[in-house]
Amino acid sequence: MKAISMKKPGSSKELVLKDSGIPIPKQGELLVKVETAAVNRTDIVTRENQNFKEPYPIFGVEIAGTVVENQSTFTEFPKGTRVCGLVNRGGYAEYAVLPADRAILIPEHLDFTQAAGVPEVFLTAYQTLYWLGDLQEGQTVLIHAGASGVGTAAIQLAKQLTKATVIVTAGSVDKLAFCEELGADVVINYKTEDFSERVMEVTNQVGVDVILDFIGASYVEKNLKSIKVDGHWVLIGTLGGSVVEEFDLRSLMAKRITLVGTLLTPRSDAYKAKLTHEMMAKTLPYFESGAIKPIIDCVFPLEKAAAAHDYMEANKNIGKIILKVTE
């Protein structure tokens, strides 16, 4: 089968299309003929990880496709069933193994391109908003990188599940307009405004209950100003740097802030399975009605995976970047 790996850790130029053996599913797994896979920041982190040694892994943590073989006790996944879900790498390939306990039955009205845009971003958004951020009905949330895959998912979940007031940041007029279309109540261009001042203005100097932070170091001071007493600050990424040279921890204590860092990819299979089941139980009616939908920016053929990585690294996307695996 065709698959995307790398010649060595480094830039997107190191990605390579190669022939690989079809994986053999173990007990509890599904073998899936992959139709589409999605590009995620974790793929870029994997590509740049100098600790990897040969043989290098096949990239990709989420797929959509059809079941070829079921080696599990889950009878709802017979051969030919359309599924999507998180895999333990191996998604940029014509076949992949998917743990059956975190396979998602694709709603009838979603095609494979849309389905590949569901697992990683909606699971991450649900986990950070509700399991870690403890977002409650009618509270206020600040979502940075609002037009990203996770950002577009988080806007929809916060509005539909908890009727939250949603404030987002993004860096272009087009991205901000799209966030408004998804339901964001307040949109802030971080390139032209001090988001902390605007947040305090629209919250009557109270601040927000929850922050989803993809940026990290460069936003620390402004996030601290923006969050309310007893707020939850969830660190998902470090696009703006990972090192804060001087920071007074007493400022966190004074506001009684809960600061949580998280990554979904390294979590255990059991954790991902539990998260998948709960998220789909809560959101399936919204997906079926169209009230919540995966946002797809563009589609690249599998052999153009390097271009897809470049596109993500340039922060051009609004929503998900998809790889078309099967012609």
Q: Burial of 100 by CB count in 10 Å (0-12 exposed, 13-18 middle, 19+ buried)?
A: buried
What CATH topology corresponds to 121-261?
Rossmann fold (3.40.50)
Label residues 53-91 b or e (16+ Cβ within 10 Å = b).
eeebbbbbbbbbbbbebbebeeeebeeebbbbbbbebbb
Torsion of CA 15, 19, 21, 25, to 10 degrees: 50
Q: What's the pLDDT at 327?
A: 77
pLDDT tens digit string along 201-254?
A: 999 999 999 999 999 999 999 999 999 999 999 999 999 999 999 889 999 999
Q: What's the pLDDT at 326?
A: 87
Mean pLDDT of the residues in the chain: 97
**Region 55-76: what's the mean pLDDT?**
97
Q: What's the pLDDT at 153?
A: 98
Q: Domain limits of the chain? A: 2-118+294-324, 121-261
Half-sphere exposure in the Cβ direction for 315 (13 Å, CA): 13
**Region 47-63: what's the mean pLDDT?**
96
The Cα 295–Cα 318 span in angstroms is: 8
DSSP letter string, 174-226: HHHHHHHHHT-SEEEETTTS-HHHHHHHHTTT--EEEEEESS-GGGHHHHHHH
Instruction: Tell me: pLDDT of 81 over 90.
Output: yes
**Region 101-120: what's the mean pLDDT?**
97
Largest CA distance in the chain: 59
What CATH topology corresponds to 2-118+294-324?
Quinone Oxidoreductase; Chain A, domain 1 (3.90.180)
In this prediction the pTM is 0.95
pLDDT tens digit string along 11-53?
A: 999 999 999 999 999 999 999 999 999 999 999 999 999 999 9
